[in-house]
Amino acid sequence: MMIAVGSDIVRIARLSQHASPAFLARTFTARELHICEGRAESLAGRWAAKEAVMKALGAGVGEVALTDIEVGREDSGRPVVRLLGGAADRAQAAGLSQWQVSISHDGDYAIATVVATG
């Protein structure tokens, strides 16, 4: 069984300072933007989760589109990862099919950890 782990931490102010409409469109899916409702801590948590997924995939910056990694949520509020396009292709090639994600934010920072198995 293949297991991959990734984690990332983001300064929340980084998202509030750089949250132009163009940046948001390049970084987040419409579903993510709807879920976050413009809250910088929620955007930062999802950014950290996307970076953590890329690390678990062994992908560097630019190798996977950030919008190919969607961090949604279940009705309970539990975050979930959905891979699209190139991210899904890379996960399939690596034998990774199940994703778990944990996101937290406190004070100035948001952090995320992902575990993928296949």
- Catalytic residue positions, numbered: 55, 105
Half-sphere exposure of 94 (CA within 13 A, CB side): 23
The CA–CA distances, whole Å, from 34 to 12, 28, 104 equal 18, 10, 19
